[in-house]
Structure 1
């Protein structure tokens, strides 16, 4: 009976230690930002106040792929200005709302398509 109690106590202590170690690791890795290879940090095209948020990368990446196929510099700058304004609307304090950014993808793609069509006529 005594050995069972000691074994149970040892297991409880081991689980408590493992849980606290996991929380420490989560805390340490949360501060390190893992950025994709297409990170837009310090880009001339995207201002830092929106490009430094990892939540914005998906939208920025999709827009850049579309911008590669556009030659008109004025249209490109209009698109970037529109996307930047959309991203700024998704900021709340020092955080960016990921769901807002994902909704903005559709708006940005629609904006690009509409302006490309207008340019054709």
Structure 2
């Protein structure tokens, strides 16, 4: 009787571990579905070498919102190039440093404000 109970407990533990592993895998796939609408996997505005990193999405989204209020295409291109350069500096190997990206938000907004003001005075 005792050996049947031990075998039953081992079986239950094995099933629980299998179920937990399956649950974890399904959660990983569902995070792809819950990605924000402003993800940039195949954006024409941002190069793939920076757009494929989810850590960069926040900065790219903020910049895109600011670009919507700018009419000068040359200025827009200059801003995108600057931000792309900032994001490339945040890469190390095949990873993007999230803290570096967050620091770059301030630099990017300052760059945009400075160049936007200069374009108004010209």
The alignment's TM-score, normalised by the length of structure 2, stands at: 0.77
Task: Kindly indicate whether residue 76 of structure 2 is the aligned counterpart of residue 76 of structure 1.
Answer: yes
- 2:38 aligned residue: 38
Q: How does 1:1-121 map to 2 (within 5 A)?
A: 18=16, 22=20, 25-26=23-24, 29-30=27-28, 34=32, 35-121=35-121
Identify if the C-alpha distance between structure 1 residues 24 and 91 changes in structure 2 by more than 3 Å, giving closer, same or farther: farther
Identify unmatched segments of 5+ residues in structure 2: none
Q: In angstroms, what is the RMSD of aligned CA positions?
A: 2.7
Q: Measure, in 2, the Cα distance between the counterparts of 1:117 and 1:51.
A: 28
| C-alpha deviation, 1:26, in angstroms | 3.9
Aligned residues: 119
Cα deviation digits, residues 49-107 of structure 1 (max 9, x gap)? 10111111100000000000000000000000000000001111111111110000000
The alignment's TM-score, normalised by the length of structure 1, stands at: 0.78
Q: Measure, in 1, the Cα distance between the counterparts of 2:120 and 2:43.
A: 30
Identify unmatched segments of 5+ residues in structure 1: none
Cα deviation digits, residues 5-26 of structure 1 (max 9, x gap)? x7xxx88996787567546644
